[in-house]
Chains A and B, each alone.
Chain A
Amino acid sequence: MRFFPLLLATLALAQPVAVPGWVRLVPSVVKDTAAYLTLENRGKTPLRLVGAETKVAERISLHQDHREHRGGQVVLGMRPLPYVDIPPRSKVEFRPGKYHLMLEGLKRPLKAGEKVELTLRFADGTRLKVILPVEMR
């Protein structure tokens, strides 16, 4: 019985909450796209996103935008990340120009308005299912 409160405490430690964003509808000639959402850690311990999966793509990788200045102009790119940390009681926004989940090798062209299911994997073994609409934005 004395383990019961401890168990509850463990469950409350890392609590990922996903606020859905969208999966970007890209021209069908492209086999890669990006997914956006906001991840919130409502727990008291850090949360580490280590990967994700979806049935519609070969794999999902985590990316952060890379920005530098060359000749007075903005040069943009992206860099893969092995993980993304979400500190306790904070949020990380996956949005254009910041972080994105890159859906690589789409198995079929996506359609505007359809829903795509992603399973997010965290370092502590937590899995979180997210359903995102496909939108051209």
Chain B
Amino acid sequence: MKGKLLVPVLAVLALVGLAYWLLPKGSHSFYGTKLLNPKPVDFLLQSPSGPVRLGEMRGKLVLIFFGYVHCPDVCPTTMLALKRAYEALSPEEQNRVQVVFISVDPERDTPEIADQYAKGFHPRFLGLTGSPETIQEVARSLGVYYQKTQYRGPGEYLVDHTATTFVVLEGKLVLLFSPDKVEETQRVVADLRALL
């Protein structure tokens, strides 16, 4: 009885093994939302050391998050998630990744403040901002919404904003992480590695 079963069992195992071996290698199932048609994006914003153009970061995977400095709950949650993902990469991989924080509150956040904020999470993160018109344009190009709320006076308000992390490769928007997905460090890192 045992002998009769052995052959079919082995045959099934061999077929399963063959099927696994035949599976296309290197295919990665993205956790973030992959854009079927990568969208060209570019911007020129201000850093404390002068203007920065997204197009000049070619060769790097650029992770962009929009927020504002007077935001103690939502923004640090994603910035800390990006820090965890960045720190999980090897030094060589880190050289090919740039995390960018863009302030949607240019009235309060100067390029210096935005950059000090970003660097407070990781010294290699970059904080940028620009004129209200430029920020509006950049936000529109990426589908970012932001709106002042709870206005109590000049400098005393909150800002609602799109909390997506945008991934840009070779000047094209290729991947999005929702604020919930960006928390899953290992899966985010796997997505970034698949793009690097």
Contacts and interface: CB of A to CB of B under 8 A. Distances in A.
Interface of A: 24, 26-34, 63, 65-66, 68, 70-71, 73-80, 96-97, 100, 102-103, 136-137
A136 B63 CA distance: 21
Interface in B87-135: 113, 116-121
Given A77-B158, A97-B77, A27 B119 contact: yes
B116 A73 contact: no
Nearest to B116: A29
Contact of A75 (B76, B113, B119, B161): B161
Given A26-B120, A27-B116, A74 B162 contact: yes
A76 B145 contact: no
Interface stretch (B4-12, B53-61, B66-74, B186-194): B66-74
Nearest to B178: A74
A29 B69 contact: yes
B46 interface: no
Contacts of A29: 69, 113, 116-117, 120
A70 B160 CA distance: 11
B72 A100 contact: yes
A19 B159 CA distance: 30
B148 to A, nearest CB: 10
Contacts of A71: 143, 145, 162
Contact of A68 (B77, B116, B160): B160
Contact of B80 (A79, A100, A137): A137
Interface residues of B, number: 31
Contacts of B52: none
B94 to A, nearest CB: 19
A6 B71 CA distance: 46
A52 to B, nearest CB: 14
| Most B Cβ at <10 Å: residue of A76, A97, A102, A103 | A76
A82 B149 CA distance: 16
Given A27-B121, A33-B72, A79 B150 contact: yes
A14 to B, nearest CB: 27
A95 to B, nearest CB: 9
5 contacts: A29-B113, A29-B117, A66-B160, A71-B145, A77-B160
B47 interface: no
Given A73-B178, A74-B179, A100 B73 contact: yes
Contacts of B119: 27
B76 A26 contact: yes
Contacts of B121: 27
B138 interface: no
Contacts of B163: 73-76
B143 A28 contact: no
A63 B73 contact: yes
A23 B164 CA distance: 25
Nearest to A80: B150
Contacts of B76: 24, 26, 34
B145 A78 contact: no
A32 B70 contact: yes
Interface string B163-175: 1100000000000
